[in-house]
Structure 1
């Protein structure tokens, strides 16, 4: 369905350049991010009780390399869907297919280019490594851009970012079923995809009124919400609950551990939270369309869930979320932590 070469070239072409850094400055940033990641490992393990079962690489990358890495993971995740649609004869052939793949590739590349200027770090659980799956990506130009924009201490900010990303690394490499669970949910989404017959036309027709509301800021939905069927929406609710937990947990860790190794953590959090709600009108529209605003809510909603559950049942009670997939909170339980406590702890 997607021409991945076009996606990669489009992302690179549209990717905005990062901050102007000399070779020496680049070397310093890369070295300090690697060191910040190393420094964050032990405090994260001790605070969370999550000990990774195997090592995963830490890659300090620029924006184009981040785009390449994510497109490679998307390509891997979408291969089963491509194969199924091919076998069912639901993909066009000849010129329409060639043109459609290039158009879709360009659209996908444009989205990745937009996100590539915003992501500070990311644990990619789907990449295959020598010791096991997963790799930690730290996007150096974005880290430098934000620390300068916020006017905060660079060393403190880099360590703060690494606390968050190291938590994600622990979540996926210390919880043995987490990666397979997420892959299974992606597979469920793919299995529920229907692009045959008039399915796409019908979805687009139904989506247009809601699309206008999204642009106006009157709806909390994103483009992806508009093109999901009922079965997919159920899976997305489950994935959203899990992602809110993971992001919120990482935010709690970075703020609670922060004072130990990040002296200015309170200032960084205050300025960073304010920045999340800023931006031009066009940027805010783009973020709404791509679901970026909803992604930001995952951090705050998930953090509230983690803190509320921990207050009510203690750290051991909260740690039940890592025991089995069925203990993960649903989207509704993220908003109502007591419902999760009642279901899991009785």
Structure 2
């Protein structure tokens, strides 16, 4: 018996399907890479000044930075998935099923590889690694007519905030990875595959129907990973995922708040970038809306907004120093209920 996913086949399929991105002269592309690397080196200092996590920001200077294309981003994520699920996925007993799973993963990664601007991967080693997807950065700054220098630093501020978070909480990667592994283990160690598949298919149909009908996407905290993911989980698994999503909402919302607090003195066009970028996140075409809902990308947008709301409310009450209590231990992380009720977290942690 072999692994239930042919990881290398997934890498090949994602690489073959992903479009290359906008063209440029060799000099333009070299300049893009150089500016992104420089922005990645500059960003931690700003993050430290805003958050007060100066010691963690100093550590982030040692985090390796990779400016990648879309296939390499997919490859890096396959490496991360295989590492997180090592020993958890059942061995395949049906000929060809591992290749089929790889093909499906490759298709999804190819789509996502055209959307992601950057990603901090905390699971690779003790320091983690930062990935910046150059063609996507170039594509968005052109489409939205953004100041390229400002936008590239703005992207790096978000991703390097994640690096600072994990440096400030050296226990966080293991804690989050273990919770993910526990959930994957529960889902894979079941015998009700047919029932799960039926729920997932119904979820897809509902997502497509609502998108075509123009029904607004929900941002309720109980809608965790989009209809495809939610329909596939039982009640206990949904509760486990809710707590993982609470942590992810904190991380994403915190990064969103920090990248905007740099302010116009350092990033003159920051307000224009935020307005244009939020409008883009909302999507316009029916096809785009359908895809985002089926893949759970609407849920990802909700994470940004709910998490940012939590962070802003906490900072308004106790400042960034008070918020930084979340990085002290797993017990200090907000629960799913507290993300929706920031005052409850402040009462529990600060009295």
Tell whether the structures are fold-level matches, with TM greater than 0.5. yes
User: How big is the shift at 1:195?
Assistant: 5.0
Superposed, 1:44-123 pairs within 5 Å as 44-50=47-53, 51-52=55-56, 53=59, 55-82=62-89, 85=90, 91-93=91-93, 96=94, 98-123=95-120
2:36 aligned to which of 21, 33, 36: 33
Aligned residue for 1:169?
163
Instruction: Show CA shifts across 1:33-82 (max 9, x none).
Output: 01111121211112212233462101111111111111111111111203
Contact 1:160 1:258 in 2 (8 A): no
- 3-state SS, counterpart of residue 268 of structure 1: helix
2: CA distance between counterparts of 1:260 and 1:38? Answer: 19
User: How big is the shift at 1:194?
Assistant: 4.1
**1:216 and 2:209 aligned:** yes
Instruction: Show CA shifts across 1:137-188 (max 9, x none).
Output: 1111000000001001100100111111110110112211111111111121
RMSD: 1.6
Contact 1:3 1:101 in 2 (8 A): yes
Aligned residue for 1:241?
246
- CA change 1:28–1:92 in 2 (3 A) is closer
Q: Which runs of 5+ in 2 are unaligned?
A: 219-225
2: CA distance between counterparts of 1:138 and 1:194? Answer: 32
- 3-state SS, counterpart of residue 165 of structure 1: helix
- CA change 1:267–1:80 in 2 (3 A) is same
User: How big is the shift at 1:191?
Assistant: 2.7
User: How big is the shift at 1:205?
Assistant: 2.6
**1:201 and 2:194 aligned:** yes
2: CA distance between counterparts of 1:111 and 1:206? Answer: 20
Q: TM-score, normalised by structure 1?
A: 0.92
- CA change 1:255–1:196 in 2 (3 A) is closer
Q: Which runs of 5+ in 1 are unaligned?
A: 86-90
Contact 1:192 1:231 in 2 (8 A): no
Greater shift, 258-267 or 208-217, is seen at 208-217
Contact 1:41 1:166 in 2 (8 A): yes
**1:259 and 2:252 aligned:** no
1: CA distance between counterparts of 2:209 and 2:110? Answer: 23
Contact 1:2 1:104 in 2 (8 A): yes
Q: TM-score, normalised by structure 2?
A: 0.90
